[in-house]
Structure 1
Amino acid sequence: MRIALLTYSTKPRGGVVHTLALGEALARAGHDVTVWALARGGDTGFFRAVSADVDVRLVPVPDVEGEGVGERILRSIALLARGFSGSFDVVHAQDCLTANAVGRVRGYGALWRTVHHLDVFTTPELAACHERALVEPAGLVCVSEAVAGEVRAGWGRAPAVIGNGVDAARFAAAAEAGAGEPWRARYGRYVLAVGGIEPRKGTLELVEAMASVDAPLLIAGGDTLFDYRGYRDEVFARAAALGVEPVVLGSVDDAGLPGLVAGAAVFAFPSTKEGFGLAAMEALAAGVPLVARDLPVLREVFAGAARFADGPEGFAREIRGVLDGSDPELDPAHATVGRALAAAHTWDAAAAAHLALYRRGFTGSD
Structure 2
Amino acid sequence: MRIRLSTYSTKPRGGVVHTLALAEALAAAGHDVQVWSLARGGDTGFFRPVAPAVGVHLVPVPDIDGESVGARILRSIDLLAGALAGAGDVDVRHAQDCLSANAEGRAHGYGSLLRTVHHLDDFSTPELAACHERALVSPAALVCVSGAVAAEVRAGWGRDATVIGNGVDSARFAAAEAAGAGSPWRARFGRYVLSVGGIEPRKGTRDLVEAMAALPGLRLVIGGGETLFDYRGYRDAVLERAAELGVEPQILGPVPDDELPGLMAGAAAFAFPSTKEGFGLAAMEALAAGVPLVTRDLPVLREVFGGAARFADDPAGFAAALADAVTRPSPERAVTGRGLAARHSWTTAAARHAELYAALF
Is the partner of 1:248 in helix, strand or coil? Answer: strand
Q: Distance in 2 between matches of 1:126 and 1:195?
A: 20
1:94-133 matched pairs, under 5 angstroms: 94-106=96-108, 110-133=112-135
Correspondence for 1:23: 23
Q: Distance in 1 between matches of 2:230 and 2:344?
A: 33
TM-score, normalised via structure 1 length: 0.97
Deviation at residue 108 of structure 1 after TM alignment: 9.4
Is the partner of 1:304 in helix, strand or coil? Answer: helix
Deviation at residue 321 of structure 1 after TM alignment: 1.1
Q: Distance in 2 between matches of 1:108 and 1:356?
A: 20
1:170-185 matched pairs, under 5 angstroms: 170-185=172-187
Is the partner of 2:106 in helix, strand or coil? Answer: coil
Deviation at residue 106 of structure 1 after TM alignment: 2.2
Q: Which amino acid aligns with 1:123?
A: T
1:227-306 matched pairs, under 5 angstroms: 227-306=230-309
Q: Which amino acid aligns with 2:286?
A: A
Q: Distance in 2 between matches of 1:261 and 1:104?
A: 40
Q: Which amino acid aligns with 2:165?
A: G
Q: Distance in 2 between matches of 1:354 and 1:259?
A: 30
1:30-45 matched pairs, under 5 angstroms: 30-45=30-45
Q: Distance in 2 between matches of 1:129 and 1:268?
A: 31
How big is each residue's C-alpha offset from its partner over 1:14-57, in whole Å with a ceiling of 9 and x where there is no partner? 00000000000000110000000000000000000000000000
Shift >2 Å, 4+ stretches: 106-109
Deviation at residue 109 of structure 1 after TM alignment: 6.7
Q: Distance in 2 between matches of 1:105 and 1:333?
A: 51
Correspondence for 2:357: 358
1:309-324 matched pairs, under 5 angstroms: 309-324=312-327
Correspondence for 2:60: 60
Residue 47 (structure 2) pairs with residue 47 (structure 1) = yes
Q: Distance in 1 between matches of 2:42 and 2:211?
A: 38
Residue 226 (structure 2) pairs with residue 226 (structure 1) = no
Structure 2 unmatched runs, 5+: none
Is the partner of 1:253 in helix, strand or coil? Answer: coil
TM-score, normalised via structure 2 length: 0.98
How big is each residue's C-alpha offset from its partner over 1:206-256, in whole Å with a ceiling of 9 and x where there is no partner? 001000012000000032000000000001000001000000000000000
Is the partner of 2:107 in helix, strand or coil? Answer: coil
Is 1:88–1:109's contact at 8 Å kept on the other side of the alignment? no
Deviation at residue 324 of structure 1 after TM alignment: 2.3
Residue 311 (structure 2) pairs with residue 308 (structure 1) = yes
Is the partner of 2:322 in helix, strand or coil? Answer: helix
Q: Distance in 2 between matches of 1:42 and 1:109?
A: 33
Deviation at residue 186 of structure 1 after TM alignment: 1.2
Is 2:173–2:288's contact at 8 Å kept on the other side of the alignment? yes
Q: Distance in 1 between matches of 2:295 and 2:261?
A: 19
Deviation at residue 323 of structure 1 after TM alignment: 2.2
Deviation at residue 333 of structure 1 after TM alignment: 2.2
Is the partner of 2:108 in helix, strand or coil? Answer: coil
Is 2:104–2:110's contact at 8 Å kept on the other side of the alignment? no
Alignment length, in residue pairs?
A: 358
Q: Which amino acid aligns with 1:121?
A: F
Correspondence for 2:81: 81
Is 1:196–1:219's contact at 8 Å kept on the other side of the alignment? yes
RMSD: 0.9
Q: Which amino acid aligns with 2:351?
A: A
Q: Distance in 2 between matches of 1:167 and 1:127?
A: 33
Residue 138 (structure 2) pairs with residue 139 (structure 1) = no
Q: Distance in 2 between matches of 1:334 and 1:75?
A: 47
Is the partner of 1:103 in helix, strand or coil? Answer: helix
How big is each residue's C-alpha offset from its partner over 1:266-310, in whole Å with a ceiling of 9 and x where there is no partner? 000000000000000000000000000000000000001000001
Q: Percent identity?
A: 73
Q: Distance in 1 between matches of 2:202 and 2:331?
A: 32
Correspondence for 2:95: 93
Is 1:90–1:109's contact at 8 Å kept on the other side of the alignment? no
Equivalent residue for 1:152, pick from 135, 151, 154: 154
Q: Distance in 2 between matches of 1:321 and 1:305?
A: 14
Is the partner of 1:140 in helix, strand or coil? Answer: strand
Structure 1 unmatched runs, 5+: none
Q: Distance in 2 between matches of 1:304 and 1:333?
A: 10
Deviation at residue 97 of structure 1 after TM alignment: 0.6
